[in-house]
């Protein structure tokens, strides 16, 4: 059986970034497995009305694939999906990209020093495995009494049913996170009426942004240096936002004032304004961007129910306040299974599954490698998310780390990298110390950055992108155990596979 050097699971931003980094490093013995029929990850799956990125498009793109042709400051989801298709084409993946190929299981074979992957078809054997499965892939459906009794169309925002005509319908939306803030203004224009169930209000700041004129797009295409300078400017602006998100008193107070001024300017009714005002620290939950949400909620087209949906009986929805609302269509904008990654049950290392290893919350070294799982790399995994800048930047830093680690792997007689448990524990303690006084842990809210099983910050990196770059670039291989003597009869090795 042929052994591939690196198998990557997932063809969204992270998977494509990883494949590109390997190709540029001269490592072409790669397969990229994607369960769906197309690349794109979250931008393939999320097609709800109004879906767009809340990071400026020229920064929310891969450094190796700058794109001067974005039509808006904050790109619509469909445009990002087209961009990722273009990236896949330019990377010339050919038959190395295997669509409709899900990961059903992965097991470390110590005797062969390889990962054996079950895809439901031809098995894949790889020396190293990169999980680029995303963290916002599996919709979270809350446990709501009688939800299954709803007698109209019911779906999650990440699995939008475009066959449902919303014209003249009473639509209920559960949740006021990033998807709902984009979705509700669109529904207010289409539906007869929208009822919005809000468990917790969000801090919302002005979005700004606009359509990018054709002349500007052509100028950026003709002058790559200008595009690079724009990207650098946007990066700097993003890094500057870290202070307000992480609890710096002056920066947080200034940002909080911007958010409250925005609310007061767009919502005149005092009672509604109070219901939309968060009672927790700025930055504790994801800060949202919108110029359209507050006007929609303040209009006659939307009713804000300022408590959670607790039960469903046919078309009648009951809130925690005791209020009853009728609906023809029910949309769950309730987020994703982020803290407990769905793929973790599928991956079996030297002793147990990732899910078991992470039973008290995700841990790693460098947010990328995990003790007990040799030659395994996790993109978008423990503490690799951001609340202030482009997450694509983090994936690129991880990809660069993986390339360096593979070089270290190839220098070893056994060609195996095993993370020292002590290194993982020290990194986990390092994260905990950096996060201890931040709003993510002390701000008085529940957020998806923290694993409720342990109370640890497991999703978010508690620092700047530059700090993450320095942390990974500063590694010297000492995070790995010394090489072991190769097992006699193991699968023969070849350079790059």
Q: How much is the mean pLDDT over the chain?
A: 95
Query: What are phi and psi for residue 348, nearest 5 degrees?
Result: -110, 120
* Neighbouring residues of 53: CB distance < 8 A, sequence distance ≥ 6: 60, 74, 75, 77, 80
Q: Which two tokens stand for residue 16?
A: 């494509």
| pTM (predicted TM-score) | 0.94
pLDDT digits (tens, 9 = 90+) for 401-415: 999 999 999 999 999
- State the pLDDT at residue 492: 40
- What is the share, in percent, of the chain residues with pLDDT greater than 70? 97
- Beta bridge mates, 114: 109
Checking if the pLDDT of 489 tops 90, the result is no
Please tell me the distance from the alpha carbon of residue 403 to that of residue 409, in angstroms, as a whole number.
10
Distances (CA, A) of 379 to 237, 310, 376, 485, 497: 25, 35, 10, 29, 22
Please tell me the distance from the alpha carbon of residue 95 to that of residue 103, in angstroms, as a whole number.
17
Checking if the pLDDT of 340 tops 90, the result is no
Domains and CATH numbers, the chain: 4-138+337-473 (3.50.50.60), 147-203+248-332 (3.50.50.60)
Q: DSSP assignment, residue 480? A: B
Residue 204, CB-side half-sphere exposure with 13 Å CA sphere: 28
Q: DSSP assignment, residue 342? A: G
pLDDT digits (tens, 9 = 90+) for 233-284: 999 999 999 999 999 999 999 999 999 999 999 999 999 999 999 999 999 9
- State the pLDDT at residue 135: 79
* Neighbouring residues of 58: CB distance < 8 A, sequence distance ≥ 6: 66, 67, 70, 227, 230, 231, 234
Checking if the pLDDT of 1 tops 70, the result is no
Please tell me the distance from the alpha carbon of residue 52 to that of residue 381, in angstroms, as a whole number.
23
Checking if the pLDDT of 301 tops 90, the result is yes
Checking if the pLDDT of 108 tops 50, the result is yes
- State the pLDDT at residue 486: 64
- State the pLDDT at residue 487: 54
* Neighbouring residues of 143: CB distance < 8 A, sequence distance ≥ 6: none
* pLDDT higher at 338 or 100: 100
- State the pLDDT at residue 334: 93
* Neighbouring residues of 4: CB distance < 8 A, sequence distance ≥ 6: 29, 30, 31, 124, 125, 126, 127, 497
- State the pLDDT at residue 138: 84
* pLDDT higher at 135 or 495: 135
Per-residue pLDDT band at 381 (split at 50, 70, 90) = confident
H/E element, 424: helix 421-435
Please tell me the distance from the alpha carbon of residue 174 to that of residue 140, in angstroms, as a whole number.
12
Q: Are 439 and 460 in contact (CB under 8 A)?
A: no
- State the pLDDT at residue 125: 98
pLDDT digits (tens, 9 = 90+) for 345-370: 999 999 999 999 999 999 999 999 99
Q: Which residue has the tokens 């800060």?
A: 287
Checking if the pLDDT of 140 tops 60, the result is yes
């Amino acid at each position: 059986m042929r052994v591939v050097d690196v198998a990557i699971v997932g063809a969204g931003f992270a998977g494509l970034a990883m494949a590109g980094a390997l190709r540029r490093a001269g490592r072409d013995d790669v397969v990229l497995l994607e369960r769906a029929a197309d690349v794109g990850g979250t931008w393939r799956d999320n097609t709800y009305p109004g879906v767009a990125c809340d990071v400026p498009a020229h920064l929310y793109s891969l450094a190796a694939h700058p794109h001067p042709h974005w039509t808006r400051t904050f790109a619509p989801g469909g445009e990002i999906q087209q961009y990722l298709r273009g990236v896949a084409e330019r990377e010339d993946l050919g038959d190395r990209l295997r669509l409709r190929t899900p990961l059903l299981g992965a097991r470390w074979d110590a005797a062969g020093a390889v990962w054996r992957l079950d895809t439901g078809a031809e098995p894949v054997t790889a020396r190293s495995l990169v999980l680029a499965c995303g963290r916002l892939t599996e919709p979270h459906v809350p446990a709501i009494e009688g939800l299954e009794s709803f007698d109209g169309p019911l779906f999650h925002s990440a699995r939008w049913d475009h066959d449902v005509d919303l014209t003249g319908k009473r639509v209920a939306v559960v949740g006021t996170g990033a998807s709902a803030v984009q979705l509700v203004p669109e529904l207010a224009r289409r539906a007869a009426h929208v009822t919005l169930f809000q468990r917790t209000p969000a801090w919302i700041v002005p979005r700004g942004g606009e359509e990018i004129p054709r002349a500007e797009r052509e100028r950026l295409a003709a002058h790559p240096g200008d595009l690079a300078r724009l990207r650098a400017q946007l990066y700097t602006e993003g890094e500057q936002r870290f202070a307000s998100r992480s609890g710096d008193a002056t920066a947080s107070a200034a940002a909080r004032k911007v958010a409250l001024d925005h609310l007061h300017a767009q919502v005149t009714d005092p009672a509604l304004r109070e219901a939309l005002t968060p009672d927790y620290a700025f930055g504790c939950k994801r800060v949202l961007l919108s110029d359209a949400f507050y006007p929609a909620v303040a209009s006659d087209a939307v009713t804000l129910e300022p408590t959670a949906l607790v039960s469903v009986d046919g078309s009648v929805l009951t809130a925690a306040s005791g209020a009853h609302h009728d609906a023809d269509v029910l949309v769950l904008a309730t987020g994703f299974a982020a803290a407990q990654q769905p793929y973790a049950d599928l991956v079996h290392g030297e002793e147990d599954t990732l899910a078991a290893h992470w039973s008290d919350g995700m841990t790693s070294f460098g947010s990328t490698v995990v003790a007990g799982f040799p030659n395994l790399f996790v993109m978008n995994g423990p503490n690799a998310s951001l609340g202030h800048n482009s997450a694509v930047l983090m994936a690129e830093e991880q990809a660069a780390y993986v390339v360096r680690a593979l070089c270290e792997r190839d220098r070893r007689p056994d060609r195996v990298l095993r993370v020292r448990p002590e290194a993982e524990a020290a990194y986990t303690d390092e994260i905990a110390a950096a996060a201890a006084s931040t709003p993510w842990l002390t701000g008085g809210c529940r957020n998806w950055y923290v694993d409720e099983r342990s109370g640890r910050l497991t999703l978010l990196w508690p620092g700047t992108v530059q700090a993450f770059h320095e942390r990974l670039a500063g590694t010297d291989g000492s995070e790995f155990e010394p090489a072991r003597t190769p097992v006699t009869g193991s699968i023969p090795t070849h350079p790059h596979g």
